């Protein structure tokens, strides 16, 4: 059944920016509210929702029907210009014609009911539990699980692959797209993580290769045989025996430097012992071979020191540069260790060479630098290989990045494969069901439109405004309105109100007569239409205080007519789908909502609309009718005094005490006061009675005086004690809804 499900009213008239929500509306709904509590605002909104920017309503099955409201605007519109628009109903039609129309109307209703059932399967009663809701719930669940199981799990390592997918919805869509289309080869997680460090980190920059070291000459010198050679003078010279015996080759050779060509003083003993012969023997002892070896020794030492120092300087520069290089590929710790060892070895060799130079006759063996130089060379070569790979990535960065992203998504799809396949299977099943229902609904909609058009064409030929005239006049006479009637106006398709003498009676009718005839007209309009095409149109009725200005007899008549409509709505008869009734009259509310033994169909819903401190609020009572009697309503005001801010609490308590003790029990204030045991309690009771009479019967100077909650609560306690001391606590508990312990 198409009808209104909820209403929101705010930022208009007596409704603040929070406003009210009327939810869970059923076929029949009763809203009780005092005058000026905001009822007419609700009815005006339902007729013209487009005129209320801050208010809204929702329709069941997302379909809308015509809303026909009975309120002051309706009366002014239809009874303010001397003529009344005619109401078309099925008039001069044969029984067979009516039966055809009824049969087609019944068929149309069944199709719409069947369509509503399918729509409910599609949408659900709440718009979420149907197939579409299930599909959306499935999508939402998949979106959450994929976000948790994949995005959050791999966000740290692969965030660079998630560009443009940092939201749950976009990530879910990308995952499904990649699952369908990604044909990239599958790589391991470790491979992807390793490559992601370069690709997804800061965009890599070009790195210069490390210069290769040249150490061949150093190694040649390092292994030269001269270092082990014992360099001494010629052995067949007379002086040789003494020098060799004393092993003073190096000492004598160093002393030769101090021999002066023209001086015969010995540099060794500082005596004039140097002769030409001695000079000749020294020169013969230190011959050309000796001199050549010494020269080679010095040159090799110098070359070695120069080459190693240059190499160490070069290696130190490499170390410094690589330490300062942000994306260095060199294992700097290993390099530094190798270099440190090399420097240490070289220092040892430098010292050995120095000693060899001083003592050429000594045989030395230099520390081999080959292993250390090879380690450093290999480390540099391996590093350059890494640098080349890095630079290849730099040269092909975009290609490499796209390849990696594709590989990452392929891995994620494979990792989440079972969940994705299950989701797609369930989603495809729901989509097939939805598509099937949509196709059926489309066909049913076309068939319904065709039936509706047939009914309109058939109705157009047999409708008339006369049956509505006859029915209104019959009701007027039945209920004692004999001095006027409804007649066709001179303008075709309109009514006018005429007295028995033929004069137009609209402007001389009493308020009660106008109200009653307006309501009768409204009922006919609810069953028919203002044109032939709208006779069978489904609609929503909104009744806003339909009994204003009516006496008690007519009030009962209106209640009876409305209850007939309620019965037809609950039984799904006729074209009225829903009723929303608003009233301030307690007696009328009781009458029209009383079900008696006829309690078939869906239960009615009840609300009370209140205006507190110039703001309208509403309370929902569900299927429980909150309006029982005026006396019970007074007790309800006491129970719910906080909802009225305590404004009327004094008057309410006074009326309860008067009703129960004064009117029914013939007990006056002094009787109640003397029911308290001691003087203090009697004074408190007297204070309460004075307070409630003050708040009820006197005119305050101020427009409004707010009573503190603490004072109200104290007097409510005394109010309760009055019933206790007069042995009427059972009545108090019953009216306040307090359950008593049966054992007390």
Q: What is the pLDDT of residues 381-402, one digit of tens each?
A: 999 999 998 888 778 787 888 8
* pLDDT higher than 90, residue 295: no
Q: What is the mean pLDDT of residues 81-102?
A: 56
Q: How confident is the model at residue 740 (pLDDT cuts 50, 70, 90)?
A: low
More confident of the two residues 523 and 431: 431
- 20-22 and 4-9 strand pairing: antiparallel
Question: In this predicted model, what pLDDT tens digit does every residue of 464-480 receive, in sequence order?
Answer: 556 667 777 777 777 67
Helix and strand numbers, DSSP H then E, in the chain: 26, 14
Question: What does the pLDDT look like over 27-41, one tens digit per residue?
Answer: 999 999 888 889 999
Local structure of 308: helix, strand or coil: helix
CA distance 161 to 182: 14
pLDDT band at 491 (very low <50, low <70, confident <90, very high): low
**What digits encode the pLDDT tens for the residues 38-60?**
999 999 999 999 999 999 999 98
Cβ 314 vs Cβ 211: under 8 Å: yes
**122-166 pLDDT, tens digit each:** 877 665 678 888 888 899 999 999 999 998 998 888 888 888 888
User: What pLDDT is recorded for position 36?
Assistant: 86
pLDDT higher than threshold 80 for residue 195: yes
How far is the C-alpha of 568 from the C-alpha of 575, rounded, in Å? Answer: 9
Residue 540: closest CA among 4, 86, 161:
4
Q: Which residues contact 695 (CB under 8 A, 6 or more apart)?
A: 649, 650, 651, 654, 707
Percentage of the chain modeled with pLDDT above 70: 77
Angle between helices 417-462 and 131-146 (to 10 degrees): 160
d(CA 512, CA 548): 8
> CA of 274: how far to CAs of 239, 243, 260, in Å?
13, 16, 10
Q: pLDDT tens across 508-545, in order?
A: 677 777 777 788 778 878 877 766 666 678 899 999 98
Whether the Cβ atoms of residue 521 and residue 84 lie closer than 8 Å to each other: yes
Residue 483 structure tokens: 């001095």
What does the pLDDT read at residue 88?
Answer: 44
Q: Which residue has the higher pLDDT, 101 or 719?
A: 719
Half-sphere exposure of 250 (CA within 13 A, CB side): 12
* Phi–psi pair at 616, nearest 5 degrees: -85, 135
The SS3 call for residue 582 is strand
First to last CA, the chain: 51
Q: Which pLDDT score, from 0 to 100, does residue 709 have?
A: 66
How does the average pLDDT of the chain come out, rounded? 80
Structure tokens, 478: 């039945």
Per-residue confidence (pLDDT) for residue 699, from 0 to 100: 42
pTM here? 0.46
Model confidence over 369-383: pLDDT tens digits?
999 999 999 999 999
- Using an 8 Å Cβ cutoff, are 578 and 605 in contact? no
Ranges 403-412, 570-579, 626-635, 665-674: which has the least confidence: 665-674
Query: Can you read off the two tokens belonging to residue 277?
Result: 């012969």
Distance (Å, whole) CA 160 – CA 154: 10
> What's the confidence (pLDDT) of residue 259?
60
Please identify which residue in the block is written with the tokens 């020098």: 243
Residue 551: the pLDDT is 56
CA-CA distance, 282 to 591, in Å (whole number)?
A: 153
For position 48, what pLDDT does the model report?
92
- Of 708, 104, 699, 132, the residue nearest 449 (C-alpha): 104
Q: Has residue 83 got a pLDDT over 90? A: no
Residues 211-263 pLDDT 10s = 888 889 999 999 898 898 877 655 545 555 555 555 555 566 666 665 655 66
CA distance 349 to 300: 12
Q: What tokens does 632 get?
A: 């019970």
% of the chain beyond a pLDDT of 90: 28
**C-beta atoms surrounding 537 within 10 Å:** 15
Q: Select the more confidently predicted residue: 94 or 101.
A: 101
Contact 521, 530 (CB under 8 A): no
């Amino acid at each position: 059944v198409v009808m209104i499900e909820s209403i929101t009213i705010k930022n208009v008239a007596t409704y603040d920016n929070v406003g009210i929500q009327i939810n869970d509306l059923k076929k029949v709904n009763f809203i009780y509210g005092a005058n000026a509590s905001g009822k007419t605002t609700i009815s005006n909104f339902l007729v013209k929702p487009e005129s209320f920017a801050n208010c809204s309503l929702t329709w069941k099955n997302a379909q809308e029907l015509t809303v026909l409201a009975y309120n002051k605007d309706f009366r002014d519109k239809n009874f303010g210009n001397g003529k009344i628009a005619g109401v078309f109903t099925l008039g001069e039609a044969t029984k067979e014609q009516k039966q055809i129309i009824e049969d087609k109307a019944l068929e149309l209703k069944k199709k719409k009911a069947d369509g509503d059932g399918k729509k409910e399967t599609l949408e659900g009663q709440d718009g979420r539990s149907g197939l579409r809701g299930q599909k959306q719930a499935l999508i939402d669940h998949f979106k959450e699980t994929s976000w948790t199981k994949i995005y959050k799990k791999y966000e740290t390592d692969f965030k660079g692959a998630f560009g443009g997918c940092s939201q749950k919805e976009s990530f879910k869509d990308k995952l499904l797209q990649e699952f369908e289309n990604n044909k990239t080869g599958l790589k391991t997680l470790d491979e992807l993580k390793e490559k992601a460090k370069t690709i997804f980190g800061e965009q890599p920059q070009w790195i210069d290769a490390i210069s290769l070291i040249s150490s061949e000459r150093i190694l040649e010198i390092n292994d030269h045989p001269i270092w082990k050679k014992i360099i001494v003078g010629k052995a067949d010279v007379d002086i040789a025996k003494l020098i060799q015996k004393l092993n003073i080759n190096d000492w004598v050779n160093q002393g030769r430097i101090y021999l002066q060509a023209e001086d015969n003083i010995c540099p060794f003993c500082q005596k004039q012992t140097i002769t030409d012969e001695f000079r000749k023997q020294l020169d013969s002892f230190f011959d050309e071979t000796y001199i050549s070896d010494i020269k080679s020794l010095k040159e090799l030492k110098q070359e070695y020191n120069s080459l190693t120092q240059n190499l160490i300087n070069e290696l130190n520069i490499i170390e410094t540069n690589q330490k300062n290089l942000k994306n260095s590929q060199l294992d700097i710790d290993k390099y530094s260790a190798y270099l440190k060892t090399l420097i240490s070895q070289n220092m040892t060799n430098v010292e050995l060479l120095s000693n060899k130079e001083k003592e050429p006759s000594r045989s030395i063996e230099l520390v081999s630098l080959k292993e250390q130089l090879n380690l450093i060379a290999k480390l540099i070569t391996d590093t350059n290989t890494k640098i080349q790979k890095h630079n290849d990535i730099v040269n092909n960065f975009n290609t490499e990045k796209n390849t990696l992203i594709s590989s990452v998504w392929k891995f994620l799809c494979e990792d989440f494969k079972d969940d994705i396949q299950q989701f797609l299977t369930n989603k495809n099943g729901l989509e097939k069901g939805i598509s099937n229902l949509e196709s059926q609904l489309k066909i049913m909609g076309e068939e319904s439109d065709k039936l509706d058009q047939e009914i309109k064409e058939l109705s157009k030929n047999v409708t008339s405004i006369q049956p509505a005239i006859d029915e209104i006049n019959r009701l007027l006479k039945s209920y004692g309105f004999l001095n006027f009637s409804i007649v066709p106006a001179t303008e075709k398709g309109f009514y006018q109100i005429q007295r028995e003498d033929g004069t137009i009676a609209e402007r001389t009718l009493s308020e009660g007569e106008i109200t009653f005839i307006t309501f009768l007209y409204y009922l006919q309009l609810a069953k028919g239409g203002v044109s032939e095409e709208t006779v069978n149109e489904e609609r929503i009725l909104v009744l806003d205080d339909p009994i204003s200005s009516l006496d008690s007899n007519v009030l009962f008549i209106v209640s009876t007519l409305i209850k007939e409509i309620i019965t037809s709505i609950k039984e799904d008869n006729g074209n009225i789908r829903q009723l929303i009734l608003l009233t301030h009259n307690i007696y009328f509310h009781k009458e029209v909502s009383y079900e008696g033994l006829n309690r078939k169909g869906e239960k009615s819903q009840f609300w009370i609309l209140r205006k507190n401190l110039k703001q309208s609020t509403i309370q929902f009572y569900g299927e429980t009718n909150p309006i029982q009697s005026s006396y019970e309503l007074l007790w309800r005001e006491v129970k719910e005094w906080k909802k009225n801010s305590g404004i009327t609490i004094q008057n309410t308590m006074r009326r309860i005490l008067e009703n129960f003790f004064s009117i029914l029990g013939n007990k006056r204030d002094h009787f109640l006061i003397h029911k308290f045991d001691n003087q203090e309690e009697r004074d408190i009771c007297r204070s309460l009675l004075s307070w409630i009479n003050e708040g009820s019967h006197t005119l305050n100077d101020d427009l409004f005086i707010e009573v503190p909650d603490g004072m109200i609560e104290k007097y409510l306690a005394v109010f309760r004690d009055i019933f206790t001391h007069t042995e009427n606590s059972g009545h108090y508990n019953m009216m306040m809804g307090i359950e008593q312990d049966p054992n007390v």
